[in-house]
Copies of this chain bind each other. A is one copy, B any other.
């Protein structure tokens, strides 16, 4: 079976590393000449909406998936008419726009921060009146790793934030004073079977995920699973879905979802019987899902900008290296390491 992936970055790379042992072959579409997944399959180097390349992929691949949500919707719809795409165009359209996403969560009874659309400076002033400050002004689409958002602390911040972001449809979101950030990585098969991984606790630094740690037997597992189940079923979802939450102590508030494998699930490579990457490929390929049971404790740390000295890293016996073979660049995710142990890992081990 040949699987097409829109995007050829580290998520595509790790999907291929998981899919090749199942006998899969891969084709990637990515405009970057040095796309790091290209070591693992055929690399179509071009824009995501290049019709010729999309036609080629549709002809060769048995099914297409994607590694990020900022794929042009038209490309997915075009591919879907020619070859199956999973997760569906609807799931992608929902997840790629913060407004659609929040409206869906509201419809499903999943608590969100207060939010309002902002299409003009007047909208922004009204929204601030309604929601209060602090609040976060975000682009509805194309945001990632803290990009496309500005924190508003007081009225004086409004004009500058508006000037910075006004080019794109915006959303104002209330600021949640959370106890911790957690996420649930779930997977739904083409036959509707759903499985959940244990929760991850996530720590961001400068807007970029820094560490994720598995949370076996966390008291918030069941409510997170319930929210994820509603979302998966409402979207008739196929593949891995990650949902990020703010844990407010009493309950969870949803932050956002990603219709794809997710950085907070990287620890499942070592920490679970079947990784999120393999389960995504199994779902997309209409194969039975693998066990999401997690044994022991896992803690993932992202390498941002550059990989530390490899001899030092590999001298640590509990560390598993995932080098993305990407050019070093400030703010770029270039690799990660997972510390895995049968016993709980002390935080100073990183």
Contact = CB atoms under 8 A, between A and B. Distances in A.
A290 interface: yes
A305 interface: no
B40 A325 contact: no
Contacts of A25: 39, 325
Contacts of A335: 23
Contact of A290 (B22, B287, B291, B314): B314
Interface in A302-318: 307, 310-311, 314-315, 317-318
A23 B335 CA distance: 9
Nearest to A323: B23
Interface in A29-57: 39-41
Contacts of A322: 21
Contacts of A282: 314
A275 to B, nearest CB: 11
A40 B311 CA distance: 24
Contacts of A20: 13, 17, 39-40, 325
A251 interface: no
Given A40-B40, A317-B273, A21 B323 contact: yes
Given A22-B323, A25-B39, A40-B20, A287 B307 contact: no
Contacts of A290: 314, 317
Given A311-B287, A311-B288, A342-B295, A321 B22 contact: yes
Interface string A316-350: 01101111110000000001000010100000000
A70 to B, nearest CB: 26
A311 B335 CA distance: 33
Majority secondary structure of chain A interface residues (helix, strand, loop or mixed): mixed
Contacts of A40: 20, 39-40
Contacts of A13: 20
A27 to B, nearest CB: 11
A339 to B, nearest CB: 11
A342 B291 CA distance: 14
Contacts of A291: 317-318
A310 B39 contact: no
Given A21-B321, A22-B321, A23-B307, A314 B295 contact: no
Nearest to A325: B23
A315 B288 CA distance: 6
29 contacts: A13-B20, A17-B17, A17-B20, A20-B39, A20-B40, A21-B321, A21-B322, A21-B323, A22-B310, A22-B314, A22-B321, A22-B323, A23-B310, A23-B321, A39-B40, A39-B41, A40-B40, A273-B317, A273-B318, A273-B340, A287-B311, A287-B314, A288-B311, A288-B314, A288-B315, A290-B314, A290-B317, A291-B317, A295-B342
